[in-house]
């Protein structure tokens, strides 16, 4: 998983470098996918439960699972790239959000806060900590900046499959829920919105958008619980 995680981290960094105004979301998908396959990785999202693409590319009010295509990225967009890698039979998962050109200070703060929320959730991980500790840390960061935590979409276990138990909500009560143990591998993925936490799924059956059309941001790491704390596998 460390090896696959390094490939995934490099792919997200490459995608962040390449994403820009004028390219299509399919162009961006190809950049990320080609980076992974050139290094011996497989795109684990492709055909997972019928998902038709290899990489999720979501714009603005699209929270997750955007399907790449002919849409062009524009200045003022925020672009989330979410990708899963299968390498030597094991799975990792990660996501980033990039600002394209100039956006309002509020949207800049949304993206920065979502990244901060991921870091806060990761820092709660240790043997004996609970899933509620993770969610409480994430939601506290969001609440401080007055952003909404998307509730219908959660993090998850990962390792032998794309998605495994447990589900990992991005909110919760400290000290409550499943206790963590060394050896667990978890995909933490806070999704924060500028407006309401409510979401709808589009007719494509995959793309989740904010119900009020306000922007959302998404960051994700695969993290291992160690004997003394945590190790981020997708850095």
- What tokens were used for 82? 């979410």
Give the position of tokens 């790239």.
Answer: 81
Give the position of tokens 């667990």.
Answer: 184
pLDDT of residue 33: 98
How many CA atoms lie less than 13 Å away from 114 in the CB half-sphere? Answer: 29
pLDDT of residue 159: 98
Q: Show me where the domains of the chain are located.
A: 2-232
pLDDT of residue 25: 98
- Predicted confidence (pLDDT) per residue in 54-68, tens digit: 999 999 999 999 999
pLDDT of residue 131: 98
pLDDT of residue 151: 96
Cross-strand partners of 93: 84
In CATH, what number does 2-232 get?
3.90.230.10
The whole model's pTM is what?
A: 0.97
Rounded to the nearest 10°, the torsion over CA 107, 21, 56, 99 is -20
pLDDT of residue 130: 98
Dist CA 164 CA 149 (whole Å):
22
Q: For every residue of 55-90, which 3-state class applies, written as one string? A: CEEEECCEEECCCCCCCECCCCCEEEEEEEEEECCE
């Amino acid at each position: 998983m460390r090896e696959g995680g390094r490939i995934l981290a490099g792919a997200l960094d490459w995608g962040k470098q390449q994403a820009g105004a004028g390219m299509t979301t399919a162009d961006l998908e190809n950049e990320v996918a080609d980076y992974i396959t050139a290094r011996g990785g497989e795109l684990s999202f492709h055909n997972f439960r019928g998902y038709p693409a290899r990489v999720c590319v979501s714009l603005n009010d699209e929270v997750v699972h955007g399907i790449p295509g002919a849409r062009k990225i524009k200045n003022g967009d925020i672009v989330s790239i979410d990708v899963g890698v299968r390498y030597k039979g094991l799975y990792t998962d990660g996501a980033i959000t990039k600002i394209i050109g100039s956006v309002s200070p509020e949207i800049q703060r949304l993206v920065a806060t979502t990244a901060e929320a991921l870091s806060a959730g990761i820092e709660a991980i240790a043997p004996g900590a609970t899933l509620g500790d993770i969610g409480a840390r994430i939601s506290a960061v969001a609440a401080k900046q007055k952003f909404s935590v998307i509730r219908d979409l959660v993090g998850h276990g990962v390792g032998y499959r794309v998605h495994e138990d447990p589900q990992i909500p991005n909110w919760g009560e400290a000290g409550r829920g499943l206790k963590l143990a060394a050896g667990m591998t978890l995909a933490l993925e806070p999704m924060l919105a500028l407006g309401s936490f409510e979401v709808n799924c589009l007719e494509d059956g995959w793309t989740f958008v904010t119900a009020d059309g306000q922007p959302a941001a998404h960051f994700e790491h695969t993290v291992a619980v160690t004997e003394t704390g945590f190790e981020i596998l997708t850095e």
